Amino acid sequence: MRTRDRRRPDGRPTLGALFIGFASIAMMSVGGGLAAWTRREVVQRRGWLDDQQFLSGYALSQIIPGATNVNLAVFIGTQLRGSAGAVAAFFGLTTLPLAIVLTVGLIYLRTQGMPGGGWFSTALAGMGAVAIGLNLGTGVRLGRHNIRRIVPALIAAVVALSIGVFGVPLLYALAVMIPVSLLAAWLDRRA
Amino acid sequence: MIATLLQLAGLFGLLSLLAFGGGAGVIPDMQRAAVDLHHWLTAREFLDMFAISRAAPGPGSLIVVLIGQKAAGFAGAAVAFLAMFTPSSLAVHVAARFWHRGAQSYWRALVEQALAPVAVGMTFASGLALMRGTEHGWLPYLITIASTAAFAFTEINPVILLGLGGGLMLLAGS
């Protein structure tokens, strides 16, 4: 199903349509799955990009550091409307979630010390435990899809343990492990 | 106040450019800097804010806004937001203009292949660091193990499990 939205004569979306498109993507993504929702809206419903363009942009968004889904919005905005499009997509994706997170966070900080406010904190402890599981489960999923050999598995394990258990700062861990991983991938491709 | 804002800008501006494989990977460094180094918040508050940002719609990296808010009020929240998202967004914006499908596909494939295991490791590291940094009782441990399995092997919506996890802790009354 395709929705009609405001377009310019050249068929590209207006800045307002970009903002609203990404705002609705953000609101649908309660609990995650932002990339899947982005693809549904941008490719399937609105037809702004085709699947090839989308997947290419998704790959770029993962290679470049930063929140993948924010990167993806900036990429799509740039492709469709240049710098102004990037700004519209970025604020479309982040404005409402920003307001929600800040509101809930302020309630959390205000009720923290109050008598009777403890239930919020107790519930959050359970949600935090699930959120940790979400990270670990995502790691398992990514690993199953992307790691099939012993050397990449060892690289992933070294990164996970050095940062997660032994507290090595990320910058040092990456400065060593990215070159190691590049070398391993290069040797793998030559073999 | 100004010093705190500069610290927020420096910390999140750097982490923005180190977040290979998505925002979750920089959680261990964020936790260490905000909790152990600058004492802006406790380990428990960090985990609570992490839960809030994961349950809310939008990117999980919005946790930086809550850290900024706790450290230096609304100005802190604004600085943290801009510092976390501006450097990486600018990088994507510039790259998007030069990104042509198929161009230099060998190097692109090589970089993608090399970054994949690093990103997987960073994702695991964030979960491990969060467990290490907080007083995790036996019930939260069980919840974490069960939800790890659920997310790894089923398509369940995270919001349902987040609600269940919160409800379970309330029932246990700890």
* CA angle at B112 for the pair B107 and B114, rounded to the nearest 5°: 95
Q: Which of B29, B96, B162 sits opposite A127 (nearest CB)?
A: B162
Cβ <8 Å between B166 and A127? yes
What average pLDDT does the segment A126-154 reach? 88
Mean of all residue pLDDT scores within chain A: 87
CA of B5 to nearest chain A CA: how many angstroms apart? Answer: 18
- Identify the pLDDT of residue B22: 80
User: What is the DSSP secondary structure assignment for residue A13, as one 8-state letter?
Assistant: B
Specify the residue for token string 């609101």: A27
Phi and psi (nearest 5°) for A105?
A: -65, -40
Tokens of A78: 């740039």
pLDDT at B169 over 60: yes
Q: Do A83 and B25 touch (CB under 8 A)?
A: no
Give one DSSP letter per residue of B37-56, joined into a string: IS-SS-HHHHHHHHHHHHHS
Closest chain B residue to A162, measured at CA: B125
Q: In chain A, pLDDT over 70 holds for what percent of residues?
A: 92
Q: What separation in angstroms does the CA of B129 have from each of A116, A161, B24, B163?
A: 30, 9, 11, 23
**Where is pLDDT greater, at B29 or A134?**
B29
pLDDT at A166 over 70: yes
Percent share of chain B, pLDDT over 70: 94
* B 1-30 residues with CB < 8 A to A: 14-29
Amino acid at B19: A
Q: At what angle do helices B63-98 and B43-55 cross, to 10 degrees?
A: 50
Q: Which residues of A touch B119 (CB under 8 A)?
A: 62, 142
Q: Do B125 and A164 touch (CB under 8 A)?
A: yes
Contact present, B68 and B76 (Cβ < 8 Å): yes
DSSP string, A16-42: HHHHHHHHHHHHHTTTS-HHHHHHIII
Q: Look up the pTM and report it.
A: 0.85
* Partner-chain contact B89 A130, CB within 8 Å: no
Question: What pLDDT is stored for residue A118 in this prediction?
Answer: 75
For residue B61, pLDDT over 50 is answered with yes
Q: What is the Cα–Cα distance from A183 to A166, expressed in whole angstroms?
A: 24
* CB pair distance less than 8 Å for A100 and B56: yes
Least confident piece of the model among A12-16, A115-119, B64-68: A115-119
Decide which of A145 and B14 is more confident. Answer: B14
Q: Suggest the residue from B18, B27, B35, B93 to mutate for an interface test with chain A (most A CBs closer than 10 A).
A: B93
Given a cut of 80, whether residue A11 has pLDDT beyond it is: no
Answer whether B125's CB lies under 8 Å from B28's CB. Answer: yes
Structure tokens at A156: 């992933």
Residue-level pLDDT at A53? 82
Which residues are A13's β-sheet partners?
A7
* Percentage of chain B modeled with pLDDT above 90: 55
Q: What is the pLDDT of residue A1?
A: 44
On whether the CB atoms of residues B165 and A151 are closer than 8 A, the answer is no
- pLDDT tens-digit profile of A18-45? 999 999 999 887 766 678 788 888 988 8
- The runs of H, that is alpha helices, within chain A are 15-28, 34-39, 51-63, 68-111, 118-146, 150-164, 170-190
* DSSP tag of B61: G
Answer whether B66 sits within 8 Å of A102, measured CB to CB: yes
Query: Of B150 and B134, which is predicted with more confidence?
Result: B150
pLDDT of residue A117: 66
Task: Answer whether A188 sits within 8 Å of B113, measured CB to CB.
Answer: yes
Q: Out of A29-33, A74-78, B59-63, B67-71, which region has the weakest mean confidence (pLDDT)?
A: A29-33
Residues of B in contact with A104 (CB under 8 A): 52, 56
Residue range B76-95, pLDDT digits in tens: 999 999 999 999 999 999 99
DSSP A6: -
**Arithmetic mean of pLDDT, B112-122:** 86
